[in-house]
Amino acid sequence: MPDYLTARLKDFTGEKQWNQIIEQNANSAREVLIGKRSSARLIKDALDRFCMDAGMDDVLGGSHTKEIVVADGEIVEEILLQAKKYHADVIVMGARKGFLSDSRIGHCIKSVMRQCHLPVMVVPQDIR
């Protein structure tokens, strides 16, 4: 994992929780490396645990539905395809500082907003 991403995750979760996550997932990572488990399954499990730990497992008294999708492909096309496939109500995209500039992520956000009939929520990097 790139150092900048590790640093962002540590900032988001806190040092103590980050270390717990690393310990809990060491065995899972080994399973992925030796082919016993898919990386997509590992990512989905980790995101499910994160949502549960953050209290997002029973939003709105159980009427909330969430689906974590891990897919490969061209970013904009894949987001639009998955939104259609899962009958999404909204698309939530994360962005770095300056996301409306001509950076790659800015381009993806703008393209999704232009091509999609759904609301697109852009969450800035430093939201707290």
Q: What integer pLDDT is reported at residue 112 of this predicted model? A: 94
How many angstroms separate the CA atoms of 72 and 24, rounded?
A: 26
Residue 23 pLDDT exceeds 80: no
Same domain, 2 and 57: yes
Same domain, 33 and 80: no
Question: Which of these three, 40, 61, 82, is where a domain ends?
Answer: 61
What is the band of 88 on the pLDDT scale with cuts at 50, 70, 90?
Answer: confident
Total domain count for the chain?
A: 2
Q: Is 111 among the domain residues? A: yes
* Domain containing residue 56: 1-61
Q: Is 95 among the domain residues? A: yes
Same domain, 92 and 51: no
Task: Write down the pTM of the prediction.
Answer: 0.50
Answer whether 95's CB lies under 8 Å from 123's CB: yes
Q: Which residues contact 120 (CB under 8 A, 6 or more apart)?
A: 90, 91, 92, 93, 109, 112, 113
What is the number of H-type helices and E-type strands within the chain? Answer: 5, 2
Q: What is the mean pLDDT of residues 36-52?
A: 71
Q: What is the mean pLDDT of residues 32-55?
A: 70
List C-alpha distances in Å: 64 to 41, 43, 57, 112, 121. 22, 21, 8, 24, 17
Q: Is 66 among the domain residues? A: no
94-123 as b/e: b if 16+ CB within 10 A:
ebeeebeeeeebbebbeebeeebeeebebe
